[in-house]
């Protein structure tokens, strides 16, 4: 009995409402015909109105109650938040196509769940690959250091022909490890997505001059001259995070030296582009074959692995650059021809 009131099945609703209306109609019929002596037609009309109203109200009451209970369970499942006491639970509107509405919301919910699942899968795959890449990158210098140290311990230390060379090579690989770990923590910070940019207006040419000074020694070692393009005599003010942009310029100019030829040339140019300034770092170095161009911004991607490693590269420099430029909601691109040179260009907002 209580179950019919609380949680009725469609059959119980139909039986209960039909039974209740018939019973009430009979009672009404006998009561009216006994107490009032009405003409048959009037009595039939009153009875008809009574049955119609009763059937409408009882069915509406049960349907609302029945559908509402089911819908409530569905809503509770798909809307994960807990309702506050003064927040109204979603009710059932008598004129609303509730089944269609619930179906739409459930489909929307299922789509969201699928998207979230896809994101989790992509993230898990990304992490697996990242961890694999890191251990691969760390292995090479560690093995090299291990080899040199063991050779020194096994007697090489007393062999004046090799001891200093081996120590220097081991130290160089420790430097490489340090670069990789530094770049990895930079990438981790950038990819965490909570990069806080300290935007300020500054002179991009001045910052480039500072970067040139920092890299002067490295450029001199390869007799590469660091210059500004003709027409870049003007000073351009940009709105960006100065320290992050210093990192971008350092990585790009450093690459132009690492992959530049002896007696080469690196030129930095600035171009006024309406709302933005385009900054280009161009070299006349070894260049990059066309089919590699799409990937040079990928983590650990190297065109020539041995050359990059010999230069102490981590393979992360350009992906750090891309992250920083994109965090500024700007773009970066590259043009290059093997044995002619490469040009990396990125934009910054004009101040
Ligand atoms: P790396 O630490 O190896 O230099 P980057 O992410 O900075 O890593 O660069 C990725 C790869 O792109 C490099 O290994 C190199 O092959 C190529 N590359 C980058 N800059 C230049 C350049 N100016 N000229 C030629 N090749 C370059």
User: Measuring from atom 16 of ligand 1, which residue has the nearest CA?
Assistant: 303
Domain count along the chain: 3
At residue 189, the pLDDT reads 86
Task: Check whether residue 48 and residue 72 sit in a common domain.
Answer: yes
CB of 32 within 8 A of CB of 38?
Answer: yes
Task: Check whether residue 232 and residue 207 sit in a common domain.
Answer: yes
At residue 5, the pLDDT reads 63
Taking the centre of ligand 1 as the mean of its atom positions, its distance from the CA of residue 312, in whole angstroms, is 11
Which has the closest alpha carbon to 63: 1, 24, 12, 2? 12
Assess whether the C-beta atom of 179 lies below 6 angstroms from ligand 1.
no
Task: Check whether residue 212 and residue 343 sit in a common domain.
Answer: yes
Taking the centre of ligand 1 as the mean of its atom positions, its distance from the CA of residue 302, in whole angstroms, is 6
Token duo for residue 286: 């070894």
At residue 90, the pLDDT reads 57
At residue 1, the pLDDT reads 53
Assess whether the C-beta atom of 137 lies below 6 angstroms from ligand 1.
no
At residue 58, the pLDDT reads 82
Task: Check whether residue 90 and residue 21 sit in a common domain.
Answer: yes
pTM of the model: 0.70
At residue 166, the pLDDT reads 96
Task: Check whether residue 214 and residue 272 sit in a common domain.
Answer: yes
At residue 303, the pLDDT reads 92
Task: Check whether residue 207 and residue 336 sit in a common domain.
Answer: yes
Residue after which a domain boundary falls, among 191, 209, 232 = 191
Task: Check whether residue 173 and residue 252 sit in a common domain.
Answer: no
Residue after which a domain boundary falls, among 138, 158, 191 = 191
Taking the centre of ligand 1 as the mean of its atom positions, its distance from the CA of residue 104, in whole angstroms, is 50
Task: Check whether residue 177 and residue 214 sit in a common domain.
Answer: no
At residue 253, the pLDDT reads 98
Q: Across all residues in the chain, what is the average pLDDT?
A: 88
d(CA 130, CA 120) in angstroms, rounded, equals 15
At residue 282, the pLDDT reads 98
At residue 116, the pLDDT reads 93
User: Measuring from atom 11 of ligand 1, which residue has the nearest CA?
Assistant: 302
At residue 341, the pLDDT reads 97
Which has the closest alpha carbon to 316: 254, 225, 242? 254
CATH assignment at residue 227:
3.30.565.10
The answer to the question of residue 56 being in a domain is yes
Assess whether the C-beta atom of 141 lies below 6 angstroms from ligand 1.
no
The answer to the question of residue 47 being in a domain is yes
Token duo for residue 188: 């981790």
Assess whether the C-beta atom of 314 lies below 6 angstroms from ligand 1.
yes
Task: Check whether residue 290 and residue 169 sit in a common domain.
Answer: no
Q: How far is CA 322 from the centre of its chain?
A: 14
The answer to the question of residue 284 being in a domain is yes
d(CA 240, CA 242) in angstroms, rounded, equals 6
Assess whether the C-beta atom of 255 lies below 6 angstroms from ligand 1.
yes
Residue after which a domain boundary falls, among 191, 226, 243 = 191
Residues in the chain, pLDDT under 70: 1-7, 80-94, 233
The answer to the question of residue 116 being in a domain is no
Which atom of ligand 1 is the closest one to the Cα of 251?
A: 7
Task: Check whether residue 336 and residue 205 sit in a common domain.
Answer: yes
At residue 137, the pLDDT reads 87
Assess whether the C-beta atom of 313 lies below 6 angstroms from ligand 1.
yes
Pure H helices in the chain:
2-6, 10-35, 40-78, 98-153, 163-191, 204-221, 242-258, 290-293, 305-310, 317-327
DSSP-assigned beta bridge partners for residue 224: none
At residue 94, the pLDDT reads 66
Taking the centre of ligand 1 as the mean of its atom positions, its distance from the CA of residue 255, in whole angstroms, is 6
> Which residues lie closer than 8 Å to 294 by C-beta, 6 or more apart?
none
Look at residue 304 and give its three-state secondary structure: coil
Token duo for residue 273: 């582009």
User: Measuring from atom 13 of ligand 1, which residue has the nearest CA?
Assistant: 302
Domain holding 140, by residue range, is 125-191
The answer to the question of residue 106 being in a domain is no
């Amino acid at each position: 009995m209580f179950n019919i009131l609380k949680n009725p099945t469609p059959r119980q609703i139909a039986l209960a409402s039909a039974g209740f209306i018939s019973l009430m109609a009979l009672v009404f019929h006998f009561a009216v015909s006994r107490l009032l002596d009405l003409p048959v037609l009037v009595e039939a009309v009153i009875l008809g109105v009574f049955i119609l109203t009763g059937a409408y109200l009882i069915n509406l009451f049960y349907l609302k109650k029945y559908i509402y209970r089911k819908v409530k369970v569905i809503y509770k499942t798909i809307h994960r938040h807990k309702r506050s006491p003064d927040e109204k639970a979603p009710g059932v509107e008598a004129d609303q196509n509730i089944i269609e509405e619930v179906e739409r919301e459930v489909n929307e919910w299922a789509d969201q769940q699928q998207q979230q699942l896809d994101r989790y899968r992509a993230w898990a795959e990304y992490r697996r690959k990242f961890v694999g890449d890191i251990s691969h990158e760390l292995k090479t210098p560690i093995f090299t250091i291990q080899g040199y140290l063991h050779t020194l311990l096994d007697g090489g230390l007393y062999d004046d022909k090799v001891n200093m060379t081996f120590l220097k090579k081991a130290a160089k690989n420790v430097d490489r490890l340090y670069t990789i770990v530094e770049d990895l923590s930079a990438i981790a910070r950038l990819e965490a997505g909570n990069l806080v940019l300290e935007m300020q207006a500054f002179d991009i040419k001045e910052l480039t001059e500072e970067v040139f000074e920092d890299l002067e020694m490295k450029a001199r070692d390869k007799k590469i001259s660091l210059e500004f393009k003709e027409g870049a005599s003007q000073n351009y003010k940009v709105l960006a995070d100065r320290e992050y942009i210093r990192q971008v310029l350092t990585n790009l100019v450093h690459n132009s030296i690492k992959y530049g030829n002896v007696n080469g040339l690196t030129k930095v140019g600035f171009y006024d582009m309406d709302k933005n300034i385009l900054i280009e770092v161009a070299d006349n170095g070894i260049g990059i074959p066309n089919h590699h161009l799409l990937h040079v911004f990928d983590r650990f991607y190297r065109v020539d692995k041995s050359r990059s490693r010999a230069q102490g590269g981590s393979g992360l420099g350009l992906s750090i650059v891309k992250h920083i430029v994109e965090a500024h909601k700007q773009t970066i691109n590259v043009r290059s021809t093997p044995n002619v040179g490469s040009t990396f260009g990125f934009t910054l907002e004009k101040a």
